[in-house]
Structure 1
C-alpha cells in the first residue's frame, strides 16, 4: 500500500463526531443553565471555541505530515504486524501509553508545558474545555515515534490516535458523577479528569491518563477525587484572547532565554519545571 493510498484510507473520525459533540454541549448547557457554579460563561466558551477551531484547522493542514511521518518510520523497520483484532488493541494501548508519557512530560518540562498550558487556562470545566488544545501541541507528535516503529500499519495507528483523542471529550464535565468502581479503576472518567484540572495542592500533576487510568496507578500519579476541584492555573490567566492564551508561555520562555548567560541556563529555561 502506497503513501497516497494510506492518506485516502485514514478517515476523519473527529469530523464525523461533530454532530454528537454539538449535541452533548447543548445538553450540558441546558442541564447547568440554572446552576451558578457550573453554567457556561460566554467569554470562556468563545475562547475555547476559538482555540478549538484554530487547532482543528492546524491539525487538518498537518494531517498529511503526520501520516507521512508515520509511514516513514513504518517503512524503516523490517517487520510487520498483521491487521487483526489484537493488533488494534495493541495499537490503542500503545497510543494511550505514549499519550500518558507526552502528557506527563508536558507538566514537568517548561518547553512542553508551553504546548499544553492553554488547555489548563480555563477556570471552568465543561465539554467546551476539551477544545482548548494549544496551536503548538503538534510538537508532541514526536512522542508517538515508538508506535510508528512497531510494525503496525499507519492506518491503524492514526485511527487509534483519533479515537484516543475523541475519548477525551466526554471526560471534561462536572455533570457526570463518579461511575461504578470497576470503570473508575480501569478507565479515565470525568471524576479522574476533574482532579487533573484542579489546582488544589493534592491534585496538581495527577491523573495524566487519556483513556486508561491504569498508567497512573502503575506509575504513582493517581489521585482520587476527594474534594471539589478549583480549576485553572496556579498563576491564573485572566485573558480571553485566543492568541495570548496560545502563546503567552512561549513569550515568557523567549524573555527568559534572552536573559540566559550560558548553556546550562538555556537548558534550565527549556527543560526545567514550569
Structure 2
C-alpha cells in the first residue's frame, strides 16, 4: 500500500470522528428496507398482520425499539463529542506501538475488536453496572430486526468504551476500532429475526447466526448468558458460553420490565441498582450491587423494583414482583 494511501486512511480515521456511528447512520435506509422485507416475508408465510401484544410485529414494541435506537444515536454523538473521543485520542497519543493500517492488519483488527466485544458483552450480562445499560436491549419480548435498534442512552456514561481502550493503547487507531465495531453492529442488525432458520452446521458453529442470536435473547434457563459473540462464535466455544437453539425461545429477561416508556426502558435497572445500593445495610454489601451479577441478592435485602416487573420462576410460571 502506498504512503499516500496510508496517509489518506490515517487522516480519514481521525480520532475525533466516531466512525461506528457514521456507518450505522449511513446504513439506516438499508436497515429499514431489511425490516420491511422481513415483515413482508413473515406476513406472506403466516397470512396474518400479527399486530397484537406478544406477536412478532406488535406495533407498540416496534415503535419502542425505534425510539430507543434514535435515542442511542443522539446520546452516543453527545458522549463522543464531550468525553469518549477525547479519551480515545489521549490514549492513542500515549500508545506503546503503532499498528499500520493495511489490507493485512484490518482483518486482524476485526478479530481483536470481536474479542473486546465478547468481553464487553459478557460483562454486560454478568456485572450489574454494565447490565444496567444493556438490559434495554434484552427487555424486548418479541424478535424482529427492529429489536436490534433497542439500545441504551446510558452506554457512554456507563463506560462501554472502556473495553475497547486496550487495543488503542497497544497501537490500533481508534478510528479503525470504531469502524470495526460499526461493522460488527451492522451485521448484528440482520440476525435479529425469526424468518431465517438454521444454516449449515459449520456456519452455525462459526458465526453468530439468527438461530444463535435468538438463543442469546432467550430467558429460557439453558439460554441465559449464552452466545456473546457479535459476528463470530469462536470465543464462545473457547470460553464455554456457546449454546445451540433447541427448544422454542422465550424472549425477554428473568425480571421482565412491563413498559413501553422510553425513559423507563432506558433507566429502570440503573435506578433500581442505585436504590439497592442506597438501601440500609453494611456498606460493603451495598456496594456489591454494582459489580455482582444482576440476579445477585444481598442477604436480608429485598430487591427494589421502581416499576412493575414480571419475574420468571424456575418452573416457568411468571409472577408479578
Which residue is equivalent to 2:68? Answer: 51
Q: Does 1:106 align with 2:124?
A: yes
Local SS of the residue matching 1:116:
helix
Which residue is equivalent to 1:187? Answer: 207
Match 2:97 to one of 79, 93, 97: 79
Aligned-residue CA RMSD (Å): 2.0
- Contact conserved, 2:148 with 2:192, CA < 8 A, in 1? yes
Match 1:173 to one of 179, 184, 193: 193
Q: Which TM-score applies when normalising by structure 1?
A: 0.93
The structure whose RCO (Cα within 8 Å, separation 6+) is larger is 1
- Contact conserved, 2:56 with 2:143, CA < 8 A, in 1? no
Moved over 4 A (4+): 1-6, 8-11, 35-38
Tell me by how many angstroms 1:248 deviates: 0.7
Q: Which runs of 5+ in 2 are unaligned?
A: 1-9, 295-321
- Contact conserved, 2:65 with 2:149, CA < 8 A, in 1? yes
- Contact conserved, 2:17 with 2:85, CA < 8 A, in 1? no
Higher Rg = 2
- Contact conserved, 2:13 with 2:174, CA < 8 A, in 1? no
Q: Which runs of 5+ in 1 are unaligned?
A: none
Tell me by how many angstroms 1:66 deviates: 3.1
Cα deviation digits, residues 62-95 of structure 1 (max 9, x gap): 3334333222111112421111122111211111
- Contact conserved, 1:87 with 1:152, CA < 8 A, in 2? no
Q: Which TM-score applies when normalising by structure 2?
A: 0.80
Match 1:218 to one of 227, 233, 238: 238
Q: Does 1:21 align with 2:22?
A: no
Tell me by how many angstroms 1:182 deviates: 2.2
Q: Hey, which of these two has a bigger chunk of helix by percent?
A: 1
In the alignment, the residues of structure 2 paired with residue 109 and residue 259 of structure 1 have an alpha-carbon distance, to the nearest angstrom, of 19
Local SS of the residue matching 1:236:
strand
Which residue is equivalent to 1:207? Answer: 227
Q: Relative to 1, partners in 2 of residues 1:247 and 1:86: Cα closer, same or farther, differing over 3 Å?
A: same
In the alignment, the residues of structure 2 paired with residue 3 and residue 62 of structure 1 have an alpha-carbon distance, to the nearest angstrom, of 21
- Contact conserved, 1:32 with 1:38, CA < 8 A, in 2? no
Which residue is equivalent to 1:133? Answer: 151
